[in-house]
Structure 1
Amino acid sequence: DAGMDIWGGENLELSFRIWMCGGTLVISPCSHVGHIFRKRSPYKWSDEVNVVRKNSVRLAEVWLDEYKKYYYQRINNNLGNYGDITSRKLLREKLQCKSFKWYVTEIYPELSLPEDTKT
């Protein structure tokens, strides 16, 4: 999503797009991944925009369908300005991607949702 800034949420966006739009995700159990942290961030962070929240709201608006309400409850419905997502929704439609309900049912059935919780 070119509308996402710096980092945060892009890993989930890629994963949902692969799973929900018929792509292939290869899991290699023998692989190792590392991350080297820099002493200073090379990015100019704005004090006016919570970049990770902005990216996460874009993700929720495009991919989570009716499940986005759970994320919005966690952030006190403070969506902020997340930009225009029209092109991302059109891409999802063009690729004939499945619903997030399909993802929860078929890919991540062990996900515990608030509506599933018994009090």
Structure 2
Amino acid sequence: MFSLSMQVWQCGGSVEIVPCSHVGHLLGEAAAMRDKETVRDRLELREKLKCKSFEWYLDNIWPQHFMPKDDRFFGMIRSRLTDQCMVKPTGKGTLNQPTGAASLMACTAGHSLQQMFVMTPEGAVMTDEAVCLDAPERDDAIKPKVRVMACNGSRRQRWKYHHENETMQHASSGLCLDIPKSRNPEDSLLLSTCSQNVSQRWILEAVPWK
């Protein structure tokens, strides 16, 4: 159970993934859970075992998580030019993760998970299922296209947002996130030499989560 694995990590243990293991799960006729008037005994057990906080778990055991935190942006990335939002691709890669071109679509009023991104203090722009905004490390004859791929921690997946001119600069190449001239929302976003062009301006639209 997911909650049990978190408790193990937080209280000094560890969980190993063993591909050849076999696990049995026995279920009773009725739910074993029942309402508790107080969780004092659980809090006392946490104190006795010197268990770490859930925030410690996120920072140290699962740093690639998609959870919102005070030190990271969480919300939609909106184009100043088209008023459309960046969207997670629907294609699947080798690990069954969303993989494909980084593109735009009409922003949804209901805060669709498909348009939710986080930007970490290290500069990773990621969405759920551990996928990140990725681009080639240097320019070539063709403007490099931006994709969403499995997060790997490399410099090609690092970005810097400049609040003063609303540009998103690729750390490795020094180029800026741009919209193709076709303005077709299905076309991949690309990297271009940084300029004052409105096609390179992006609004980080934070979504309240507390």
Taking structure 2 as the reference length, what is the TM-score of the superposition? 0.29
Pick 1 or 2: higher relative contact order, CA cutoff 8 A, min separation 6: 1
Flag the structure with higher helix content.
1
Taking structure 1 as the reference length, what is the TM-score of the superposition? 0.47
